[in-house]
Amino acid sequence: MKDLLEDPQFREWAKGEDGPGFQKWEYRYVFSTEDREAMDEARILLEGIPFKQRFLSDKSVDLAWEKLEASLDQRSAVVSQESRRRSVFVLKIAAAVLLLLAAGAGLFSIYQNSEAFYRTLYGERMHIEFSDGSRVFLNANSSLSYIPKDPRTVRIEGEGYLYVTKQPQTGEFFIVTTPDLTIRVLGTEFNVNRRNQRTEVLLDEGSVELDLADLGKMLMEPGDLISFSAVDEKILEQKIPDKPEVITSWKQGVLLLDSITLNETLKLLEETYNVTTLLENEEVGKKVLVGGVPNDNLESCIQALKTIYKLDIQLNENQLTIK
């Protein structure tokens, strides 16, 4: 990655410039599949291009399933013979199992009413999947909790991106709470960011209803972004962002910098990596950055800032010093 970022001809190719090495890098990208992922990631750091999602083909899934079924058929003959021998033993322990079930019911009740809790560290992301098919991606320094008997009601601190599946038979809502507000959805995709005593919601698909306490309820439509603070008791921001992918780029492991100053970038790094920053030259802090840096690897992030933006950065324990 470091070699790619520092190669001037690669940087020209990544930016779409027809330089002397363009054909070489184009050929390498097309025919060298083992290098392609690294080139994609390096291009993201240079240009802020979103990661390409890769999925298994239907044919690959079907072949894997056929192999699994054949394996199960072979095992079933052996299992049927073995099951006869075990049936007598099973009857002997059945009584003991019935006794244990009573105790197990009590333990299960305790489990159902306890709290499931997930937390990410600084520079870490997490994927959580629920039994109904809904999924949550947690950003760095974030947490999610819920009661197992009610998995469609969750609480989020920090930032998360949610894919909520509909429940057409019951019409049950999926409810997300933060210290500021409550979000009710049927099936949708949206980003929730609760930091600095305010909650920001960006809706990608579907529709959601926000409960803003004394301000009442508000219905969001795809593309809407609303920022609300319960402390200030008001909506801080309400708009349709030009580039929503900048807000949700953290899911792909990158922070897109869309013409923001170095000062603003350093605040993002402090939230993401749990570092303090020291800017020795205030004029450098006004430098405008465009592109992307990793949000899951501090060393790669520093290297990207050094290489792309020609910054002199030193890391000493948990402090970044920019000269």
The answer for residues whose C-beta is within 8 angstroms of residue 39's C-beta and 6 or more apart is 4, 10, 14, 25, 28, 29
C-alpha distance from residue 15 to each of 42, 43, 96 (Å): 11, 8, 70
Q: What is the pLDDT of residue 81?
A: 52
Distance in angstroms (rounded) separating the CA atoms of residues 200 and 157 = 11
Residues 6 or more apart whose Cβ sits within 8 Å of residue 267: none
Looking at the DSSP bridge assignments, the partners of residue 146 are 116, 154
Nearest to 161 by CA among 195, 188, 198, 121: 188
Q: What is the pLDDT of residues 123-152, one digit of tens each?
A: 889 999 988 889 999 999 999 999 888 888
pLDDT for residue 93: 57
The residue type of 22 is: F
| Residues 187-213 pLDDT 10s | 899 999 999 899 999 999 998 999 998
Q: From CA 191, how far away is CA 163, in angstroms rounded?
A: 9
Structural domains of the chain ordered from first start: 2-47 (no CATH), 56-113 (no CATH), 116-245 (2.60.120.1440), 253-322 (3.55.50.30)
Q: What angle do CA 217, 142, 44 make, to 5 degrees?
A: 100
The residues of the chain scoring below 70 in pLDDT are 47-113
pLDDT for residue 111: 42
Give pLDDT, residue 136: 94
- What integer pLDDT is reported at residue 88 of this predicted model? 46
pTM value? 0.65
